[in-house]
Structure 1
Amino acid sequence: MTLLVTAASGHLGRLVVDALLERGVPASDIVAGVRTPAKAGDLADRGIRVVEFDYARPETLAPALEGVTRVLLISGTDVDRVTGHGNVIDAARAAGVERLVYTSAPRNDEIDYALGAEHKATEALIAASGVEATILRNNWYTENYLDAVARAAETGEIVAAVGDARVASASRRDYAEAAAIALIGDDLRGQTLELGGDVAWTYDELAAAASEVVGRPVAYTAVTVEQLAAGLEAAGLDAGTAAFVAGIDDAIARGALGQTDGTLSRLLGRPTTPLAQGLREGLAAR
């Protein structure tokens, strides 16, 4: 069985490769799909085949998928991510790939938000393709908050427009291990899983964890979505990007990230990484 990990030179992709190797998958059975192979020399040094794999350039996809059994499609970051995802899905179907595992966004079929809509559209493309799939709807990565915590070390506050909403974050390593499990085994085929940390925390609790990590008092300052968007524009973002980012906070306020039922920890066979630990380890790794 040959497993292709897309975006393998990224933060999550590298951790998935690590998790596959730790679970006994031979390096020779792993293909690392990357946009720029020259930046993945460390993966090649481990005996992993590195191939060019650019979602936006379909001509790079078919050669990389030759002989591949299963593909982890890590969601892209380009503005037109759905088109790129569609290119990968089409190429996987044409290549006869047995299974796709896709890193999606939480509750995208329950709560309407821009980021979720892009993932919902990708899930629809996968379903229409006829390729067997496992959909991993990952809650937030704890590492998403590293910039905010680093700023809080200087300002003493974390500013957000989420009200008293909760977030069930987990570390990238937690989600990477889940992706590896979904790739290797057969128990999760055909399933859509909402994955999140064991604890759904508030932003007051995020501020308390940040205080513990940075060694100074940190408070959560609640603002409106409009105030947040205006502040982002004042900081240099264009209006569209500012609205998109502020819209994520609005989705959080409406509960997009607040649910957790222990699925991720049961899948891992261990508790998920606690918030403060994830923040501390993330900052140390920078």
Structure 2
Amino acid sequence: MITVTGATGQLGRLVVTGLLDAGVPAGEVVAVVRSPEKAGDLSARGVQVRQAEYGDAASLRTALQGTDRLLLVSGSEVGQRVTQHGNVLQAAKAAGVGLVVYTSAPKAADTSLPLAPEHAATERLIADVGLPAVVLRNNWYLENHDQPIRTAAETGEVVGSSGAGTIAAATRADFAAGAVAVLTAAEPEPGVVELGGDQPFTLADLAAAVAAETGREVTYRDLSAPEHQQFLLGQGLPQETAEFVVALDQSIAQGALETGSTALSGLIGRPTTPLAVHVRSVLRG
């Protein structure tokens, strides 16, 4: 039995459907969800839908019964994730799960990326629990740039403070396919895998891709961290959000999203989605 947590989320749903497309019988796939009514399409395909919440240890123990391989999709509640992930891992241990696959952050154990500490703590929890595990350190999603792409097409500029820092982004579908490959492998090799796109890009490259697609001039305006924060506040972002975005760009400038790895394309057996292809899909809708 292969179980996917967060199965109605953007990544989890792609993994569940990817497992079915890979030939895993629907009855051997379990979708753990907070709201079963959102998983009607999965249930209709024969997937076992089980209700559980990361904060409810009892529901997790029930939901993970019979699981051989588990994909723990990281939670979305910042500040609560370590405790919540711990609940899942304890339930997995009690259920006798044979393999845990966890979606972590790039370079989680050694990075300034503001998202990383809870992922690094979860990786330590996985080691402490002692279950065989594959940690997939997923890089940035190309979809995170969808709004900046649309804005750049309208305004003629991309604004940030990441300098020449590169981003090894790939699509959610690419990362989901990587998880499917691990979950269905004959003998998955436990360990940590840095996953990212084959062709890292800078925000200047992003601007150039938008320019190539639209046929208009699009430039990258690189600001200092204080200038960037003031710009974001002027765009109406809350203080905390602006600070987070600037901290992210500063981490990118320091190389936090450059993996130097082609492990993802190796797992999925094809190149990852190029930036130009994603920009085209966003702008052509």
Taking structure 2 as the reference length, the TM-score comes to: 0.93
Aligned twin of 1:41: 40
- Matched residue SS, 1:72: strand
Aligned twin of 1:249: 249
Aligned twin of 1:206: 206
Aligned twin of 2:261: 261
* 1:138 is the counterpart of 2:138: yes
The letter for the 1-side match of 2:182 is: A
Instruction: Write the distance in 1 (CA, Å) between the matches of 2:58 and 2:88.
Output: 11
* 1:78 is the counterpart of 2:86: no
2:161–2:246 contact (8 Å) kept in structure 1:
yes
Shift of 1:19: 1.6
Matches within 5 A, 1:21-40: 21-40=20-39
Instruction: Write the distance in 1 (CA, Å) between the matches of 2:282 and 2:89.
Output: 32
Instruction: Write the distance in 1 (CA, Å) between the matches of 2:98 and 2:116.
Output: 26
Structure 1: gaps of 5 or more residues:
none
Q: Aligned pair in 2 of structure 1 residues 237, 43: CA closer, same or farther (>3 Å)?
A: same
Instruction: Write the distance in 1 (CA, Å) between the matches of 2:99 and 2:110.
Output: 25
Instruction: Write the distance in 2 (CA, Å) between the matches of 1:165 and 1:7.
Output: 31
* 1:128 is the counterpart of 2:120: no
Quote the sequence identity (%): 47
Shift of 1:58: 2.3
Q: How many residues align?
A: 284
Shift of 1:187: 4.1
Q: Deviations over 1:110-151 (max 9, x none)?
A: 223321111111101111111110000111111110011112
2:103–2:135 contact (8 Å) kept in structure 1:
yes
Instruction: Write the distance in 2 (CA, Å) between the matches of 1:59 and 1:211.
Output: 52
2:108–2:117 contact (8 Å) kept in structure 1:
yes
Matches within 5 A, 1:80-229: 80-229=80-229
2:166–2:257 contact (8 Å) kept in structure 1:
yes
Q: Aligned pair in 2 of structure 1 residues 151, 183: CA closer, same or farther (>3 Å)?
A: same
Instruction: Write the distance in 2 (CA, Å) between the matches of 1:10 and 1:245.
Output: 23
The letter for the 2-side match of 1:26 is: P
Shift of 1:51: 1.4
Q: Aligned pair in 2 of structure 1 residues 81, 214: CA closer, same or farther (>3 Å)?
A: farther
- Matched residue SS, 2:115: helix
Taking structure 1 as the reference length, the TM-score comes to: 0.93
Instruction: Write the distance in 1 (CA, Å) between the matches of 2:36 and 2:211.
Output: 40
1:161–1:225 contact (8 Å) kept in structure 2:
yes
1:232–1:242 contact (8 Å) kept in structure 2:
yes
Shift of 1:230: 3.1
Shift of 1:156: 1.6
1:195–1:260 contact (8 Å) kept in structure 2:
no
2:170–2:196 contact (8 Å) kept in structure 1:
yes
Question: Superposition RMSD on alpha carbons, in Å?
Answer: 1.8
Q: Aligned pair in 2 of structure 1 residues 27, 233: CA closer, same or farther (>3 Å)?
A: same
Instruction: Write the distance in 2 (CA, Å) between the matches of 1:284 and 1:143.
Output: 14
Please, which moves more after superposition, 143-152 or 55-64? 55-64
The letter for the 2-side match of 1:65 is: L
Instruction: Write the distance in 2 (CA, Å) between the matches of 1:43 and 1:36.
Output: 12
Shift of 1:18: 2.0
Aligned twin of 2:68: 69
Q: Aligned pair in 2 of structure 1 residues 54, 214: CA closer, same or farther (>3 Å)?
A: farther
Please, which moves more after superposition, 98-107 or 184-193? 184-193
Instruction: Write the distance in 1 (CA, Å) between the matches of 2:55 and 2:279.
Output: 33
Q: Aligned pair in 2 of structure 1 residues 11, 215: CA closer, same or farther (>3 Å)?
A: farther
Shift of 1:16: 0.8
Shift of 1:40: 1.3
* 1:3 is the counterpart of 2:30: no
1:199–1:260 contact (8 Å) kept in structure 2:
no
Shift of 1:237: 4.1
Please, which moves more after superposition, 85-94 or 126-135? 85-94
Structure 2: gaps of 5 or more residues:
none
